[in-house]
Amino acid sequence: MVPLTDQKIELLTKKALDIRRSIVESLIEAKSGHTAGPLDMADIFTYLYFHALKHDPKKPHWEYRDILVLSNGHICPVLYATMAHAGYFSVDELKTLRKLGSRLQGHPHREWLPMLETSSGPLGAGLSQAVGMALADRMDNGRSSGKQFYCLTGDGELDEGNNWEAIMLAGKEKIQNLTVIVDRNNIQIDGFTENIMPLEPIVDKWRAFNWHVTECDGHSFRDIDRAIGEAQAVFEKPSVIIAHTIPSKGIPEFERKYEWHGKPPTTPEEIETARKALKEVRTLGGRIESPHNS
């Protein structure tokens, strides 16, 4: 994996801010959709698409590309925004989010947007899909083709039993080129995860199913890089990264409030608050950051 330099971190930070802005503007235009998850996963998506993934926007079906499966499809505004900024389609198309006839549906639809790897919506299905893809790759190419398979999932989504069947199978099959990234933002649509259906001890649970487990700060590019590098260095089992994130990261007035899980800024006050929070970039300690991305 290419080393992550200070210069690259500055570029990634700028790009993540642009992606957050695009997420907010697309949600404002749509007047519906999810805010908390897309904003809190912007740094991870930025890192993957602009540093870690082997992919080519000009050849979306390139045979040797890495595979990214978004399981919690409702956070697709961050996937769409990142792909647009990466060059898969025009940033202007983000304004069509959730509109009738748009390719950018409220949950990803692969037949409408062919550069997506999967369609998603029903929670709990993405990990099974990723496990199946990785196993098929092994069957087609021997131990591994060199591809990395990434599955992004939410912590609330782990309430779904289907996930644990896939986790068991991946552990049994020792799928070493599969990395799951769990958005551990501690919220779901009805409240805080530990009130709705407690997940702790989440690390022990994954380890019990024969997975390599690491945790990271989901808003630190250096820590994300460390965790991904650690996962790729493990050859005897699949890996999971518990990424600790802040819901609605970047807009302090919205952060850590589960109410923003499934709604966009709609009132003039909410829209002004969101736009103001993401308006400027400043330099702190040699790092270029959004005003609240500390």
Judge whether residue 256 has pLDDT over 50. yes
List residues bridging with 34 in a β-sheet: none
Judge whether residue 286 has pLDDT over 50. no
Structure confidence at residue 282 as a pLDDT band (50, 70, 90): very low
Determine the pLDDT at residue 145: 72
All structural domains of the chain with their residue ranges: 6-289
Determine the pLDDT at residue 289: 46
**What is the rounded distance in angstroms from the CA atom of residue 186 to the CA atom of residue 192?**
6
Model pLDDT for residues 17-56, shown as the tens digit of each residue = 999 999 999 999 999 999 999 999 999 999 999 999 999 9
**What is the rounded distance in angstroms from the CA atom of residue 46 to the CA atom of residue 243?**
14
Determine the pLDDT at residue 38: 98
Q: Full-prediction pTM beyond 0.85?
A: yes
Model pLDDT for residues 141-180, shown as the tens digit of each residue = 776 678 999 999 999 999 999 999 999 999 999 999 999 9
In degrees, to the nearest 5, what angle opens at C-alpha 258 toward C-alphas 85 and 156? 80
Determine the pLDDT at residue 292: 38
Pairing of strands 287-289, 191-192: unpaired
Question: Per-residue pLDDT averaged across 272-280, rounded?
Answer: 92
Model pLDDT for residues 230-241, shown as the tens digit of each residue = 999 999 999 999
Structure confidence at residue 280 as a pLDDT band (50, 70, 90): low
Judge whether residue 201 has pLDDT over 80. yes
DSSP 8-class letter at 61: T
User: Which CATH architecture is the domain 6-289 placed in?
Assistant: 3-Layer(aba) Sandwich (3.40)
Residue 68, SS3 per DSSP: strand
